[in-house]
Amino acid sequence: MTEKAQKTQKTDSADKKQKVESKPNILEKLFYGLNLTWPKLIIASIVIGVFVGLLMAIPALKDTSFTRIGVILYWWVLFGTIIITNSKSNIDSALKCFVFFLISQPLIYLTQILVGAADWSLMGFYQNWIGWTIATLPMGFIGHWLIARKDIWSALVLAAAVGLVFVEALGEFNTAFSNFPQYFLSGIVCIVIIAVLLIGVLNTWKLRGISLAVAIVASLILMFANRSNPEDFKLSLSFTGADYGLNTDKEWKIESEFGDRLRIEKDPVYGENEEETGEYVYLINFVGDGRDFGKHDFKIVSADETKVCQLTIEKSVSNISCE
């Protein structure tokens, strides 16, 4: 083989090697390599919203890890970061984040209503997401501006997202340890999402380490501060007597660890002529603070009957269930 032929062969081999090495991996493609056009974004918003709504409508999946996507933020942090890193500009990022949440979130509730899994009162829970939807405008703008730098500022901005998921992971594992295996899988998914964000968005282990450390330290400080100075809140949940087999002719009261902070009231249902229909809606009223988040057993009792129930208190949504 001539010297010229050998040089040509080496050059071809080097070119092939360079092409293989330069081929983006899955995470690089996910965060920086998607052609996220407006039609694709809108379709993704609709598909994800409907899919999550259908998951939430399946009775067998209630209060499991599979429906946590419709309750807490960890998956939505991932979706938002994917949009930010694949947008063309700060404005493009802000608008796409806003539209994605504006479409997907209401669809979660509408889907459950349309398939008959809930009534229109469910839309009242959408107010918990309105603030987050509006917040995506500045978050998308600032996030794209700083993450694109791939420096210490990128690490600090990503730390906010990682910290949010970290806090939710602790919450999921806390529930899992007290009521295993409930939410254990969603806790694992939170950890996986943290790893995906750090490895996929940042390009050096130094930046990844800084981002993770800042996220953990800041989250623990905020959690401690919240525990030290918890914010009071009021909660009111409604249901009919038929929902849990409460005879409306009886007087019911609640026995729980909360004492007078957890009460039950009976309100009459009024018809179009403002006359009582003979039906009643029961209201579970609760006054608490951040230390009360989680699941709590309680009893609804009458003179000769007892209903064993559970109250779930979370930042985004709360509910009760009875045997």
User: 165-204 pLDDT, tens per residue?
Assistant: 999 999 899 888 877 888 999 999 999 999 999 999 998 9
- As to burial, measured by CB atoms within 10 angstroms (0-12 exposed, 13-18 middle, 19+ buried), residue 22 is exposed
- Contact between residue 41 and residue 83 where contact means Cβ atoms under 8 Å apart: yes
What pLDDT, on a 0 to 100 scale, did the predictor assign at position 184? 94
Encoding tokens for residue 24? 């983006």
Structural domain includes residue 73 = yes
How many separate domains does the chain show?
2
- Contact between residue 72 and residue 314 where contact means Cβ atoms under 8 Å apart: yes
In angstroms, rounded to a whole number, what is the distance separating the alpha carbons of residues 320 and 323?
10
| Total length of the chain | 323
Instruction: Give the structural domain span for 241.
Output: 233-322
Is the same domain home to 144 and 123?
A: yes
What pLDDT, on a 0 to 100 scale, did the predictor assign at position 182? 85
What pLDDT, on a 0 to 100 scale, did the predictor assign at position 21? 42
Structural domain includes residue 78 = yes
DSSP conformational letter for 306 = E
Radius of gyration of the chain (CA): 25
DSSP conformational letter for 115 = T
Structural domain includes residue 66 = yes
Is the same domain home to 222 and 237?
A: no
What pLDDT, on a 0 to 100 scale, did the predictor assign at position 226? 67
Structural domain includes residue 303 = yes
Out of 228, 256, 287, pick the residue that ends a domain: 228
Out of 178, 209, 228, pick the residue that ends a domain: 228
Structural domain includes residue 54 = yes
What pLDDT, on a 0 to 100 scale, did the predictor assign at position 284? 82
What pLDDT, on a 0 to 100 scale, did the predictor assign at position 116? 87
The secondary structure of 160-193 as a DSSP string is: HHHHHHHHHHHHHHHHHHHSTTTTHHHHHHHHHH
Q: Which residues does the chain have with pLDDT short of 70? A: 1-24, 226-232, 268-279, 290, 315-317
In three-state secondary structure terms, 283 is strand
Structural domain includes residue 16 = no
**pTM listed for this prediction:** 0.70
Out of 200, 228, 256, pick the residue that ends a domain: 228
- Contact between residue 129 and residue 184 where contact means Cβ atoms under 8 Å apart: no
Alpha-helical regions (H) of 23-70? 26-32, 38-56
